[in-house]
Structure formats: structure tokens, C-alpha cells
Structure 1
Amino acid sequence: MQDPVGSYESRSRVAEFIRRLDPDIRMALHFDEAAIVGADLLVSLCRVLMDDVASQPWQDRLDALFEELDLADVETGLDFALDQLGDREQATAWLNSFKGRDYQLFALRLLGAADFRRLGEALKEDGAVVALAVRRGIRALMPFAVAWNDALNNMTENQRKASSKPELLSLELARGLAQVDELFGEKIIATLPMQLTAATANDLSSWRPDDLTEIVTGIRHRVAESSAKRLERENSQLVRKIRGAKDALMHSEDGISQAANSLIELIDRILREAFSKDEVLAWIEANLPDAPLLTYEKDGKTQPNKRAEVLCFVYRGGPITREANEYDDGEGPSLIHDVLARVVVATRDSLQKFKHNDAGTQEEKDRLLSLLTGLEGALLLGLSLSQIGGSSTPRQSQPLQHPVMP
């Protein structure tokens, strides 16, 4: 018996409908084989990945799907998507051509009322599947948006201005995602037959920007958990440093100083066990030979500073290579790598002050908890970046085996 993952249930309803039409009618409606395969591939991927009730891991479900699909079809579908949707103006014109009243009247006359209705129903069902994938994709970004905002809170205004694009650091990413989610729910989700998909009640409930505080509080716990999991992949002892800092703040009379010490040791140990100072210096020479403020002299010997060590870590010791565009000149570290390095250094500097000047006040405890939250956010982003994008693996790290998902 054929595996149900690769069966009709996982395929595009539109593609299935159009394949039954006479070839001349398909061509008259501007549905060539590449468009059909592209739609089938997109919807099939979304169906398989959004299936929460399947007993198989998502990797096995994808394998089963690709075993059923012809490799040539997959290549055709990908080529179509790149050609049609790679250019925004071309994609908009292509999509609008199907939405025009003249086209719809032409399709109605050509297909007849019954088949025209069936095509509309198939479009809505496929649209619902893709819409569910988009909504979950938007929400999968929220932990990283919260982590980013929390990390930036550990920087002073002057430290933000020192970054290459300080205006981008003022963006409220979490609020922006909540607004996109609400608009997407009102304009798209509400118009589609979501009951035909694997959507849950949570999927169908829009995030409201007015409820952002509650949303962020819940997601912040996920950020802390995801950060701990990534730390555990590096070294399980590192997780104990964060737990020790939290326990010290909760139960110790000298908790602020102890917590600060634990977090400083956490930062230093992560960097020390990832790359040696000589390896960091070699990385600077290979990638940022003319960049200022990455080294210092001690006892007549050049040493990398903390910012250089963090940059080397988040790049996984790999090359700094990217294409220039209108937002980025392609030189030096990327904005996110640079900011994360500055955040970790700023956090460590702030912790040093608590280490030597602990009055034990509630205000200090609140500030240290805020620094810890920001550090967890920076670690989530930094470890995710280093696991995704680097070309070499730090000595104490385990290579990532599957996609990074909070």
C-alpha cells in the first residue's frame, strides 16, 4: 500500500483539478505544466509540514513526498517559482492576471458553471493550506524578535549608535510581527476554509498588538528554554551557570554578586571553549584585517578583545562573505552579527559593575534579571546563527542535525 504521506491527501487540489482538464483548455487558461507542478510542490510541502497528527517525523514525511514526486517535476516546480516569483513586479502582474474580472468571465465560459465553482473551491482549499503555513511561519519568527529586542535592551543608547545602522535597532520587531499576524488573520485567514486544514484553535486566533505584553511574556519563557537547549548542545555545564545565577538571585543574600559572577563565567567559557585566542586572531587576519577595535596589546603580544571573540563565535570561525545590496555594502560583519557581539560585550561590562558594586537592592536585582533575559536572547540568536551559518565547528560544539526552531 502506498504511504499515505505521499498520497492524494498531501497534494494540491488545484493541480489535481487542472490535470483533469483538456490540454487545450489548460493552455487557454494559462496553466502550463510548470505552473501546475509549482502549485503541487508548494501545497504538498505545506500540507506535509503542517500535519500535526501524523505519527512520522516531518523528515520522514518529506522523504515520502519526494519519493512520490518525480525529481524532474521538483526541478520544474522550483524553476517556475524562481522565474515567476523571484521578481516582485513580475509576480504581482502574474497573480493579478488571474484575479481580473475579464479572466474570470473567460474561465467561466470556458469551464462552465460547475467546473468553475470546483476550481474556486480548490483554490480556496489550497490557499487555506498555504495560509496556515504562512501564519505559523510568522509566529515562528516571534521568539527571535523577542530575543532580539531583549538583547538590544542590554545596550545603552551610545552603544546602539556605534552600530552600522542604528536606525534599524529602534524597530519594534515583536509589535510589528503582531500587527502583521492580526492583519493576515483579518484579510486572509478569515476568508478561507481553514476547517479543511490542520489548523488548531490557536492558529485561528489572531495576535492583537494590544495583548503584546502577555504574548511576549509567554514567548520569553520559550526563548529561555531554547537558549538553554542550545547551550546544552555546546556543554551541559554551561546551562548550570544560568540556573545557578537564577538560584542565587532567588535564595542567596549575596545573590546579585554571585549571579553576576556566574553569568560572566558563562560568557567567558562559551567563547574560550569555542575558539582559542590564537584561532580568533587568525580569523581576524583572514576576515577583518583592517577593522579597528578588535585587538589590544598585553605584555608585548596582540590579543583579541571580547567583541572579536564573539564575532568569531557567531560566524563559527567561517568566512565573512555576503553580497552587497542597497541596505548593506557587503563589507565587515553583518548588522546582526555586529550587534550581537556588541550586546554580549555590553552585557559583560554591565555584569562586571554588579560584581564589584553590589548593594543588594531590588532595583539591582531587577536590572540583573533584565540583563539575564537579554543575555538569553543574545545566546539564542548567537548560537542559532553559529549553528546555521558557520563553516567550521567549535571544538566543544555538536553540529546541528536539523533546522533551528524555537
Structure 2
Amino acid sequence: MQGSITVGPYRSSIATFTRSLEPSLRAALRIDESMVLVTEALVSACAALTDSSDTRPWQEKIEDCFADFDEEKLEKTLKAFIEVCEADEPKNWLEKFKNANYKKFVERLLGAAQFRLLVNAVMEDGAVVALAIRRAVRALMPFAVAWGDALSLMTKEQLKTANRMDVLAINAVQVVVSIDGFLGEKLLSTLPMEVTTATESDLTGWTPDGIDDLVLQFRTLVTEASAKRVERANSPLVRKIRGARDALAHSEDGISQAANSLIELIDRIMREAFPPDTVLAWIDGNLPDEPGLTYFKDGQRAPTKRAEALCFVYGGGPVVPRDANQYDTGEGPTFLHDVVALGLTSARNKLQKLKHADKGTPQEREQLMAVLSALEGALMLGLTIGSMSAEPAPPLELPAV
């Protein structure tokens, strides 16, 4: 597996350095070509993804990193990646590199000048990877806010399904903020970030004014992202969200009008994507033993709101079998799909109650705004997860000519 995967300006300092060493030195350091190749792939991909001057979609950037690979070389690289990761080689090497005795051994082996070059290479590649990780973590914040908002309407009784309350006790926003703070304090501050494309905002801590202000900022992004995803799924329904906000702002009967608009939004976006007959077929094919998904209406079997929400969150795709663990029995819908579907149905139930609000009190408006935030969060998560879960469309069959 010889050859570099570097493309254009993207290159790994570690890979460049280690390939300049004599094979005997690399063997003494226990650095084989597979490990070099994996390091080069990782750093090149991180550099490509964090290149702000390249405005192409991330998929195209990654494709460029492997543009010179034929099928055989790509297969070998993937095999090497799996082998290296399964053996924990990068982790083991980094742990050894932190050890004072090992560093002395490497310095004696390479000499002081070469050792400094190796240290610099590790720091430079570390900076590239650290920047990619920080941006990835920060990209999760809208989803963390959406998750928290979607959970906010549910009672403990609703969340006790499958005994998974211990997972729900985690504050997703706080977790993201904590990881981001650790990256800033322990990694980015110690690495040569000037060799990367890091901006001032990348290097600036997030919470000088506290988490509450941060959540408000990202909730605006959730609102925008939710509207865009609703528009892609069913563009006329975007007016329902905007109409609800306009009713709250300008109408004396705004709470009732907004609640009605949002209920219609929930019902139509799910039923127009997956009509009742489609939902029933999906249940029979994926969750035939799951309770509470069907009922009889006028002698006809019909899906419940939870069933409609689950089919919607799965994008009509398959419920993939999985291994059981302490949080998941391995049966029925996954924890993530179940909670997002529950968020949609809980929002609808709250809206049904607020639909009859006739006092127009500040408390009622505050309740509706909370439901709207929860609904936007659940829709953003549901449409995102559904698009990933949905089965790919079959190829288009053209008529014979």
C-alpha cells in the first residue's frame, strides 16, 4: 500500500515525515505503512472539511481526497483503516508518545533535530484534527437544543418506556458545551492553530454570557432549519409555522389560531408523506408486535398518532435489528426514533388543549411558544432522521423505445 493520498494543499505532516525515514527507523518506532496511510487519510479529510475557501458540499470535498484511488487501492485503504482502528494503534502510539521514557528513546533513535520535526508534525496534524472535531461538536448544538426542546413537553411517565430514563437525564446542551470547552482549553490552546484555517470564532469560547443565551441563539437556528426542512418535505406547510407566529404576534385570538395551524401542520406533513394505509403496511412489516400502534375505528383498523409519527421519523424505512444493551432492549423502535416520535405526539396533545384557550393570557402565550419550540425541534430531528432512515428510491425504469 504505497503512495500518498494527498490532494492539492491537503497533506499530513506525520505521513510526510515518517515516509522520509529509513525503513529500519520506522520499524524501530513500530510505524507501518497502514498506520501512515490511515493517518494521512484522516488528516487530509479533516483539512478538506475545514477549508473555508472551498464552498462545495462536504461529500465532494471528501471525494477529492480519494480522487486518485482506484477500487483496489480504496479497498486496501479501508481494510487498513479497520485493522488499525481495531488494534487501537493510533491510540497506543499517542499514549506511548506521551510517556517520557518513550520520548527519550525516540529522541536518541532519531537525533534531536529529527525528533523536533516529529513533534512539530504531530502538533500540526493534531491542530487540523482538533479544528475539525471542534467544528463537528459545534455543528451538533442545534440538534442538542432541538432534542432538549422536544423532550421538554414530555412527562416522566411518558419517558419511562423501556427503563431508559437514565439516558434522558443527560442534558445534551450541557454535554456539547462541556466537550467544546474541553477542546478549547486542553487542545486548541496548546496546538499551533495558525497552520489551520481556524477563524477567531473557532478559537473563542462559547459561553461568556452563560448557557441560556447560547440556547436562545441556537434556537433561532433550529427554527430556521426546521422551516427549511418542512419546505423541502412539503413547501405549502411552511405557511402554517409562519401563520402561527403571525397569529401570536398580531391576533387577539392568536393562541387558538396558532394551535389550529400547528395541529394541521403535524397532521398533514405526516399523512401526506405516509397515508394511513402506508403506515399500516409499514407497521405490519416492521413493528407487528409493538403495542399501541393501531386501533379500530368504525370497524376498520387504523394507525394511532404514535404509529404515524414513528413511520414519519423512520422515513418509511426499515426498523433495523440491533443488539440489546443496558439502555435498549433491542426490540421495537430505537430509543432515538421513539423519543422524537413521542415529541411530535406530545406537542400535538398540548396544542389540542391550547386550541381552546380563550383568555389570551401571557401564560397561555408562553405555553404555546414553548410548544412551538418543541415542535420545531421535533420536526427538525424527525425530518433529518427520516431522510437518513428512508430506503433509497428504486431506479427509474424508462419505457422501451
Q: Which residue of 1 aligns with 2:314?
A: 315
Q: Quote how far apart the aligned CAs of 1:9 are.
A: 2.4
Q: Which residue of 2 aligns with 1:382?
A: 382
Where 1:9 maps in the other structure, the secondary structure is coil
Q: Verify the 8 A CA contact 2:34 2:84 in the aligned structure 1.
A: no
* Aligned mates of 2:364, 2:237 — CA distance in 1: 24
Where 1:297 maps in the other structure, the secondary structure is strand
Q: 1:184 to 1:247 in 2, by over 3 A?
A: same
Q: 1:158 to 1:57 in 2, by over 3 A?
A: closer
Q: Which residue of 2 aligns with 1:141?
A: 140
Q: Quote how far apart the aligned CAs of 1:205 are.
A: 1.1
* Aligned mates of 2:115, 2:320 — CA distance in 1: 50
Q: Deviations over 1:338-366 (max 9, x none)?
A: 11111111111111111123221110001
Q: Quote how far apart the aligned CAs of 1:291 are.
A: 1.6
Q: Which residue of 1 aligns with 2:399?
A: none
Q: 1:167 to 1:63 in 2, by over 3 A?
A: closer
Q: Which residue of 2 aligns with 1:229?
A: 228
Where 2:301 maps in the other structure, the secondary structure is strand
Q: Residue 341 of structure 1 aligns to which amino acid in structure 2?
A: A
Q: Verify the 8 A CA contact 1:163 1:339 in the aligned structure 2.
A: no
Percent identity over paired residues: 50
Q: Which residue of 1 aligns with 2:364?
A: 364
* Aligned mates of 2:66, 2:195 — CA distance in 1: 23
* Aligned mates of 1:176, 1:132 — CA distance in 2: 18
Where 1:331 maps in the other structure, the secondary structure is coil
* Aligned mates of 1:70, 1:33 — CA distance in 2: 18
Q: Deviations over 1:260-309 (max 9, x none)?
A: 00000000001111111111111111111122111111111111110000
* Aligned mates of 2:308, 2:55 — CA distance in 1: 43
Q: Residue 49 of structure 2 aligns to which amino acid in structure 1?
A: L
Q: 1:105 to 1:172 in 2, by over 3 A?
A: same
Q: Deviations over 1:85-126 (max 9, x none)?
A: 3466x7644432333223212211221111110111011000
Q: Quote how far apart the aligned CAs of 1:322 are.
A: 3.2
Q: Which residue of 2 aligns with 1:50?
A: 50
Q: 1:206 to 1:322 in 2, by over 3 A?
A: farther
Q: Deviations over 1:306-328 (max 9, x none)?
A: 00001011112122113214232
1:76-115 alignment runs, 5 A limit: 76-86=76-86, 92-115=91-114
Q: 1:54 to 1:341 in 2, by over 3 A?
A: closer
Q: 1:206 to 1:10 in 2, by over 3 A?
A: same
Q: 1:163 to 1:339 in 2, by over 3 A?
A: farther
Q: Which residue of 2 aligns with 1:348?
A: 348
Q: Deviations over 1:190-234 (max 9, x none)?
A: 110011101111111122486211111111111111111110111
Where 1:302 maps in the other structure, the secondary structure is strand
Q: Which residue of 1 aligns with 2:325?
A: 326
* Aligned mates of 1:87, 1:271 — CA distance in 2: 45
* Aligned mates of 1:73, 1:103 — CA distance in 2: 33
* Aligned mates of 1:331, 1:119 — CA distance in 2: 50
Aligned length in residues: 389
1:208-223 alignment runs, 5 A limit: 208=207, 211-223=210-222
Q: Which residue of 1 aligns with 2:283?
A: 284
* Aligned mates of 2:139, 2:278 — CA distance in 1: 35
1:3-402 alignment runs, 5 A limit: 7=7, 9-54=9-54, 56-69=56-69, 72-86=72-86, 92-162=91-161, 164-208=163-207, 211-327=210-326, 328-391=328-391
Q: Verify the 8 A CA contact 1:256 1:360 in the aligned structure 2.
A: yes
CA RMSD of aligned residues (A): 2.1
Q: Quote how far apart the aligned CAs of 1:390 are.
A: 1.6
TM, length-normalised to structure 2:
0.92
Where 1:109 maps in the other structure, the secondary structure is helix
Q: Which residue of 1 aligns with 2:397?
A: none
Structure 1 alignment gaps of length 5 or more: 394-398, 400-406
* Aligned mates of 2:149, 2:208 — CA distance in 1: 17
Q: Verify the 8 A CA contact 1:34 1:76 in the aligned structure 2.
A: no
Q: Residue 115 of structure 1 aligns to which amino acid in structure 2?
A: Q
* Aligned mates of 2:260, 2:174 — CA distance in 1: 34
Q: 1:139 to 1:260 in 2, by over 3 A?
A: same
Q: Quote how far apart the aligned CAs of 1:378 are.
A: 0.2
Where 1:296 maps in the other structure, the secondary structure is strand
Q: Verify the 8 A CA contact 2:263 2:348 in the aligned structure 1.
A: yes
Q: Residue 203 of structure 1 aligns to which amino acid in structure 2?
A: D
* Aligned mates of 2:78, 2:184 — CA distance in 1: 28
